[in-house]
A and B are shown apart, each in its own frame.
Chain A
Amino acid sequence: MMQLFRALLVALVAVTLAFVREARADSTVLDASGLCATEGTDVARAVEQIAARRDALAARVLSAMLDGDLRVDASGAPFLAQRGDTYQALLAGSGAAKPPLRTPVVDNQLRRQLEPAIAGLRLSVADDDIRLSAAEDLAKHRNDELAPLVRKALQSEKNAKIREKLSLALAQVDLSSDDKQKRLGALAAIKSAADATFKPDLERLLLKDEHGVFREADADVRRAAASALGSIDSRVMLYSMVGNLFYGLSLGSVLLLAALGLAITFGLMRVINMAHGELLMIGAYATYAVEKFFQAHFPAHEDLYLIFAVPAAFCAAGAVGLLIERTVLRFLYGRPLETLLATWGISLMLIQTVRLIFGAQNVTVANPQWLAGGVEVLPGFVLTYSRVAVILFSGVVVAFVWFMLQRTPLGLHVRAVTQNRDMAAGMGISTRRVDSWTFAIGSGVAGLGGVALSQLGNVGPELGQGYIVDSFMVVVLGGVGKLSGTLAGAFGLGIANKLLEPAAGAVLGKIAILGFIILFIQRRPQGIFALKGRAAEVT
């Protein structure tokens, strides 16, 4: 009995407390009609009243008012005007707007009252996200009038991230303050945040005027400014390194997709397929064709085209590869140099054919919705989804090729023929069939590379030509017969390319890498991961 009574009491207290809190900031009651008053002083008073609520609703109403999107209906309930003449109720459960709708007039005087009021409101709410976004907004522009408010918010703020933004907002004002301590404080805040937007301000501090006198008289402040500048520079450098690493990784995975098939077929048949780049191009055009097909027949499911493009590109490039092997390569066995020329001839015909079918102009393959855009992980460095997807995709393809080579009967035969063709034939393996299938699969993998390329840039008949030299270099660097060599070669080249680019320029970087490869094969003519023993003798 006693227990039940106690439980009831607790429940009662809880309900009462909840009610009280509700009453203090009731999200269903807010009379905005005062905002539409004709007298400026009445409006100002209404703004003050709403701001005094100190809750998120007040912030929303006032910022809507500042943006000119606030509508007030006959009952005084606030609404947010949206596109297409629809109105969103700002009060929970206030129902449809009752006409007539009025729009509060915002003049400059009111604007000056509204801005700090909104900023103050947003900085004082309990929600961390709102306070953070308010602090970020404040840090974007210098605003002297809001400085006292920011200073006050900074004193009570506990969240470190918000504190940083607030002190940056304050630093913009304090940097030109007369108080040396304030300037030093501002510089310390800038230094710890290492925000690149301050770079011009800091550089200005270190300049001399026309008489050779420093603009900033105080040596301590100058020293602090230089040190802040240093930390900004090293941060910028770090970010660009991270960015280049990412681009290198994505270039590496494209090279990997391009070189994978080449390395397999070269290892197996010792022939260089100069039409390999064109197989990439065919894969890219297959993607384009599938996209156009979906646009024409399934416009509602257009975003799914990419999923169907993967097998389509694999099959298209694989079929062309099989055709090349059956009609040309198989008759040139043991004559690698002639094969090189014949496949070059094939590549010319493939380019011309694609030109006649699709036109000589480049076409664009649109990213599906779910690959468009990206996420800004660091300031100024956007991780685009398409590039991330290409990196992941190349991982999947490598897994597929690894599985094919290591876990299937065909893979076993491929490895046997790669190591010793005559012996494999002697053991009853049909080397010709192995050649055909391997060539088809290697070509199909190139087609998959084409799908990846279509997501990164334009698609044109000469797409493959740009990648052929680089993918040969991957094969030279990585050696043949080992997947790990191709992996290391592709990512090594891709990352080295992108890291050298900012320092030496794209062209000199490429030349440096070629020089490096030539020197590298002085020491290891068989590539990074050479097969050892007798298998290495075949060349």
Chain B
Amino acid sequence: MSAALTRLEPVLPKRGWAAFGAVALLSILLVPALNSLSPSSALHLPDYLVTLFGKFLCYATVAIAMDLLWGYAGILSLGHGVFFAIGGYAMGMCLMRAIGEAGVYRSKLPDFMVFLDWKELPWFWRPMDNFAFALVAALAVPGLLAYGFGFLAFRSRIRGVYFSIITQALTFAMMLLFFRNETGLGGNNGLTDFKQIYGYPLHAAGTKHALYMLSAAGLCAAFLICRFVTTSKAGRVLRSIRDQESRVMFLGYDPTRFKLFVYTLSAVICGFAGALYVPQVGIINPSELQPSNSIEMAIWVAVGGRGSLIGAPLGAFVVNGAKSWFTVALPNAWLYILGLLFVAVTLFFPRGLVGALSRIRK
């Protein structure tokens, strides 16, 4: 694989690095700075918006991971919600343990276990006390699941819509699994009521700012990682697989290995985004695993424009911004708007916002 990662072009052109640095700094610093202004100031950003933007940044990271997979390798996964949720659950378990005995029942066990009358911690909960272990799990478990599932799927040459609907079935099965109380992850209610992360109280402004800045930095890092892959030789092979898989195979490449690599990487990035998402929204439950959530992730990428790595996060911001606004202002119209978005983007803007912008510039 190392040979496959040989550079064919720089990760970013010189001017690109400058622009990237500026955008990265701005996105990391601007929101916390505006939030820190005195509430009377006209530019003051309310607290809830910090959390909301932090959430969007996590979604944008997922969108980049989706774009790497869909835009470059032509694999439309309708199961990325699974990896996102698993990352979130790993972090949630750690936060759950960090509550200690401050829960409703004043027990050493998480509240839902007391409620279910469990006497001791299940084995997979035990190492979650350790913050570092939880972080590794948030990345490794989605990665391993993607590797195993992808291995089986790609090896038998499941492609195109077949792969999409198989991943959707995976999502559905996972949702059912996480809804069960016996699974040991809080069942229906999921994990919530978190108090602190790594010793810092979650409701404090400083913690919120730090989490936000981490999310922004994570998004930038995800962008660079994906960019690193797509500008390498492997990236070129991936694009060839997208356009003409059989031919790539006949040229002596093994598409399975490349697809498996990019699918696993994409899942790890999603797990990372999920782990940052949970402490900011304060809850993780099986509704994150609904198949519709995973399909919505695809529409972020489609709206922004595939195969650019810039369009995807843009799409995530636009769609989620619209969702936040419309579900409050016009709740009955939101499903129509979302539905129309799906239809209109595929029919009229196959290259999304980025494609439309570049056409205007020309």
Taking Cβ atoms with an 8 Å cutoff, the residues of A that contact B are: 266, 270-272, 274, 328, 331-332, 335-342, 344-349, 351-352, 356, 469, 472-473, 476, 506-507, 510-511, 514, 517-519, 521-523, 525, 539
> Are A469's CB and B176's CB within 8 A?
no
Near A by CB (< 8 A), chain B positions 325-355 give 332, 335-336, 338-343, 345-347, 350
Measured CB to CB, the nearest residue on chain A to B149 is A518
Across the A-B interface, the 8 shortest Cβ-Cβ residue pairs: A345-B342, A349-B339, A348-B339, A352-B335, A345-B339, A338-B346, A342-B346, A472-B165
Total of A-B residue pairs, C-beta within 8 Å: 115
Write the chain B residue with the least CB distance to A271: B161
7 contacts between A and B (CB under 8 A): A344-B295, A344-B342, A345-B338, A347-B339, A352-B335, A473-B169, A525-B156
Given contacts A356-B332, A507-B177, contact A514 B169 (CB under 8 A): yes
Decide: A332 near B165, CB < 8 A? Known: A349-B335, A510-B173.
no
Tell me which residues across on chain A come within 8 A of B339, comparing CB atoms. Answer: 345-349, 352
The one of A332, A469, A518, A539 in contact with B152, judged by C-beta atoms closer than 8 angstroms, is: A518
Check A340/B166 contact, CB under 8 A, given A332-B346, A345-B341, A348-B342.
no
Q: Quick check: B164 and A345 within 8 Å, CB to CB?
A: no
User: Of all chain B residues, which has the CB nearest A513?
Assistant: B173
Residue of B nearest to A350 (CB): B339
- B335 with A348: CB separation less than 8 A: yes
Nearest opposing residue in chain B for A509, CB measure: B176
Known: A342-B346, A356-B332, A539-B159. 9 other contacts (CB 8 A): A335-B346, A337-B160, A338-B346, A345-B341, A349-B336, A469-B168, A507-B179, A517-B169, A525-B156
Note all chain B residues with C-beta closer than 8 A to A347.
Answer: 339
Is B302 located at the chain interface by the 8 A CB criterion? yes
Check if A272 sits within 8 Å of B169, measured CB to CB.
Answer: no
A342 with B165: CB separation less than 8 A: no
Taking a contact as CB atoms closer than 8 A, the residue among B156, B164, B166, B170 that contacts A337 in the complex is B164
Residues of chain A within 8 A of B291, CB atoms compared: 469
**Which residue of the partner chain A has the closest CB to B70?**
A337
**Bound Cα distance A525, B164 (Å):** 14
User: Is B118 part of the contact surface with A, judged by Cβ < 8 Å?
Assistant: no
Q: How far is the CB of B183 from the nearest CB of chain A, in Å? A: 9
Q: Which residues of A contact B318 (CB under 8 A)?
A: none
Residues of A within 8 A of B70 (CB): 337
**B95: shortest Cβ distance to chain A, in Å?**
26
Contacts of B160 in A (CB 8 A): 336-337, 539
Please measure, in the bound complex, the distance between the C-alpha atom of A483 and the C-alpha atom of B156, giving whole angstroms: 24
Contact A511 to B168, CB < 8 A, known contacts A348-B338, A349-B340, A521-B156: no
A472→B346 CA distance, assembly (Å) = 22
With A328-B347, A332-B346, A332-B347 as known contacts, state yes or no: A345 contacts B340, CB within 8 Å: yes
The digit string for B104-136, where 1 denotes a CB below 8 A from any CB of A, is 000000000000000000000000000000000
A78 to chain B, nearest CB (A): 62
Q: Which residues of B contact A341 (CB under 8 A)?
A: 295, 298-299, 302, 342, 345-346
Give the CA-CA distance A271 to B341 in the complex, in Å: 19
Give A492 to B2 CA distance when docked, in angstroms. Answer: 45
Instruction: Tell me if B90 counts as interface (CB < 8 A to partner A).
Output: no
B153 interfacial contact with A, CB 8 Å = yes
Partner of B166, one of A338, A506, A518, A523: A518
Is B76 interfacial (CB-CB < 8 Å)? Answer: yes
